[in-house]
Amino acid sequence: MMVRRTDEVPSGLDSYGASMSVLTGKHLERRTFLKGMGASVALPFLDAMVPAGRLATRAVDSSPTRFVAIELVHGAAGCSEWGASQNLWDPADVGRNFDLTSSALRPLDAWRDTLTIVSNTDVRMAEAFEAHEIGGDHFRSSAVFLTQSHPKQTRGSDVFAGTSMDQIYASRFGQDTPIPSMQLCIEPVDQSGGCAYGYSCVYTDTISWASPTEPLPMIRDPRTVFNMLFGAGGSAEDRARRRRTDRSILDWITGEVAYLQRRLGPNDTARLERYLDNVREIERRIQAIEARNGSGEERELPGAPAGVPDSFEEHMRLMFDLQALAFASNMTRVFSFKTGRDASGRVYPESGTDRPFHPASHHGGREQAILDFQKINEYHVSMLPYFLDKLSSIDDGGQSLLDQTMIVFGSPMADGNLHNHRRCPFVVLGGANGQLDGNMHLKAPDGTPMANVMLSLLHKLGMDDLDNFGDSTGDFSLSASTSVLPDGALQ
């Protein structure tokens, strides 16, 4: 039996892009990994990663802002004429004293200090430019959300849109993480062939574009995301063999964990234990879902991968947990997350209505039908506090991850009944490393492109040299001094 000396580094303790570190007068590398038998687990932020003498000021040296873009399809009930009059999305008052009582954003009221509502912006690039494009709104809108560019109508491989906001950011601030960006989704995707009205399905199936001709695939299965983040097995056969043993990936790195813990202070030890407990809990939940879906019982989502829960809420929470862990371990700083697919007929019984999603959006302007669609909107918004709470609970160098994150949540469609794209729903959450004040409702002047807001957000993400984005016509001020009062006057 070989005994490891107290100053010997185990072979599984390694770092990304740096030499091995031992805690003997040197700080631990930020991208240290614990490795063993096909598992590769990055560490969360630890005090031991800060050079000696700089612990008191470590928050000043925070990493670049984390970025999440979340798409809501089909618009919102509050963007219909009657819904807007009832403030079913945008609150009546601008500035800080807004009331969310009647709004689908009501679940975010407890998080209003980190909430910025931007109302009255347009996504005109999703509109039909030519007669033959009329009717294809559902099949081009998602491609426009983060690109703010008009997609080329084609069923072939010659797709063309624009570079998306998340990928512009990832190209500059995501290259020094193991995974520059990740793209997640909830609904099934099929990125081959044509969909309808002459549009390739790829326009419907992704919101993330590395270039105008490079749509990025989105991941639906939490198991796939987990394996990407934690290197669970070097091949499909390795992963399948490990799952058959019912062992955790953490079982393969117990020696490296024990070695590291002996050299950490009590605060770091507790932080590492909480992080690894979270990893194990998420893995356990995925295993339970796979076991349930592999039991032979009839599924609500036939044909879905074994790791995909039938429950929408369970699926959303798993995806949010994986994003939080990825941010905590600095595996990536950029996520795009597509929570639905245009023309989806999914039913959300927990919302309080049994109307399918797409038919519910075609409410015909009837007040009761609009209120039914509103229930689905509010249910979708109610998924967000779970993510906000998760990020706010994780300390990263003296700040919460929520303080360091910018979350964009909105839709490229406004009134799903009319398929229009004027006055679309759009909010921003998180502190963005001090760049967002929160507790703000800003109403843009009529005709303002949503691209203007995205351009200003990209500037706040550190990309000051960008002069334009999509169909932007200029910056949009995110300060209270430029809010617009209900009568159209500047405040």
Q: How far apart are CA 443 and CA 423, in angstroms?
A: 10
Residue given tokens 């799952």 in the structure block:
243
- In this prediction, residue 380 carries a pLDDT of 98
Q: CA torsion angle for 278, 282, 283, 287 (degrees, to 10)? A: 150
Cα distance between residue 412 and residue 471, in whole Å: 13
Q: How far apart are CA 366 and CA 418, in angstroms?
A: 13
In angstroms, the CA 138 to CA 459 distance is: 30
For 186-283, list the strands marked E by DSSP. Answer: 209-211, 214-215
* CA 463, chain centre distance (Å): 20
DSSP single-letter state for residue 351? G
DSSP assigned state of 388: H
The CA distance from 98 to 468, in Å, is 31
* Contact predicate 338/404, CB 8 Å: no
CA distance linking residue 234 with residue 248, whole number of Å = 15
Sorted by where each starts, the structural domains of the chain and their CATH numbers stand as: 65-220+308-482 (3.40.720.10)
Question: What is the spatial distance between Cα 249 and Cα 375, in angstroms, rounded to a whole number?
Answer: 40
- Write down how long the chain is: 491
Distances (CA, A) of 449 to 182, 240, 438, 472: 27, 48, 21, 6
Q: How far is CA 194 from CA 128, 157, 229, in A?
A: 18, 10, 32
From CA 63, how far away is CA 331, in angstroms rounded?
Answer: 12
Predicted pLDDT at 452: 98
Segment-wise mean pLDDT, segments of 10 residues, the chain, 491 residues: 37 46 57 77 88 53 86 98 98 97 98 98 98 96 98 96 98 94 92 79 96 97 94 61 68 86 90 92 96 93 94 98 96 97 95 97 98 98 98 93 98 97 98 95 97 98 97 91 46 42
Q: pTM of the predicted model, to two decimals?
A: 0.91
* pLDDT at residue number 245: 60
Report whether 91 contacts 358 (CB < 8 A).
no
**How far apart (Å, rounded) are the C-alpha atoms in residues 356 and 359?**
6
What is the rounded CA–CA span in Å between residue 190 and residue 329? 31
Instruction: Report the distance separating Cα 319 and Cα 222, nearest Å.
Output: 7
What pLDDT does 217 receive? 95
Residue 49 to residue 46: CA distance in whole angstroms:
5
pLDDT of residue 342: 94
Backbone φ and ψ of 321, nearest 5°: -60, -40
Residue 429 carries which side chain, given as an amino acid letter? L
> In angstroms, rounded to a whole number, what is the distance separating the alpha carbons of residues 421 and 412?
6
